[in-house]
Amino acid sequence: MGERELMFGLDTLFAPAIIAAIVAIVIVGGVTHGVIGFGFPLVSTPLVALLVDIKTAVLITVVPNIVVNVISIVRGGNWQESIGRYWPMAMWVVLGTLIGTHFLLVAPPEALQLLLAAMIIVFLLQDRIRQLDLTWIRRRPAVSGAVFGTVAGLFSGAVNVAAPPLVIYFMMLELPPLALTQMLNLCFIAGKTIQAATLSLAGPGSLPLLIASLPLTVVAIAAWLLGIRLQKRMSPAIYTRMLRATLVAFVVLLIGQAAIELAHRLHIA
């Protein structure tokens, strides 16, 4: 089997430099996920979206996302305290993802980039947001779960980032770190599975991207395992600070890219 076959067509879709950059991004995302328990979509999608359009970025990372999240859940154990109690959140995420994925198919790229930047800002400011009076979340967990789960699904389907509203919700419920991580990964799996199925049916150009992402899935798993090893040797706080600094740069780049595309669109019009 030749090198070309091993790449599952990845080399027919992107230039070598783009492939190398995507592989590097997947490695960074996998390591981050291994160290802090989540974060692969939050790291991988924004960076890949700087190289290709947001729809392609979602498709090329969705299979690695699903696989990494499945492994993360299986590894944790003690599912009764997380999945056994809060599994309805995943159903609300699915509902929101169905709506958000259809938005992804019709929305202009610059709108999606700005939405993605907004979600990253929310994630970065989540500590301040939690200082607001959100005690109603604990008083009415079922209703608030439906709200936060659906909103998370909307953003998951549209821009592949569901973490900010989910993290806020579960931290307000004061879930232990392991249970929080497992529920985040379960919600990501549910949303990504629905998103992949929806996008695969959207057109003939979707399936080649999903197939081409299979080698990236192997890379993501290897990077995740490396992150697990690093987690035992280094403080997760260091990686969290690095992640936040990188995300700030993502916001600036995404907004700048969206502004350039919008200006170009207006100039053509």
Q: Are 181 and 27 a contacting pair, CB within 8 Å?
A: no
Cα-based angle 200, 203, 209 (whole degrees, multiple of 5) = 55
Residues 6 or more apart whose Cβ sits within 8 Å of residue 83? 73, 182, 183, 186
Q: How many domains does the structure of the chain reveal? A: 1
Identify which has the larger pLDDT, 219 or 80.
219
Indicate whether 124 pLDDT > 90: no
What is the per-residue pLDDT across 177-200, written as a single tens digit (0 to 9) for each? 778 888 988 998 888 888 778 777
pLDDT band at 2 (very low <50, low <70, confident <90, very high): very low
3-state secondary structure of 1: coil
What is the per-residue pLDDT across 243-257, written as a single tens digit (0 to 9) for each? 678 778 888 888 887
Residues 6 or more apart whose Cβ sits within 8 Å of residue 152? 92, 93, 96, 162, 163, 164, 165, 166, 169, 187, 191
pLDDT band at 126 (very low <50, low <70, confident <90, very high): confident
Instruction: Print the domain residue range for 163.
Output: 3-268
Q: How far apart, in whole angstroms, are the C-alpha atoms of residue 217 and residue 67?
A: 7
Residues 25-42, mean pLDDT to the nearest whole number:
88
Q: How far apart, in whole angstroms, are the C-alpha atoms of residue 57 and residue 233?
A: 32
CA dihedral angle for residue 149, residue 134, residue 180, residue 174, rounded to 10 degrees: -150
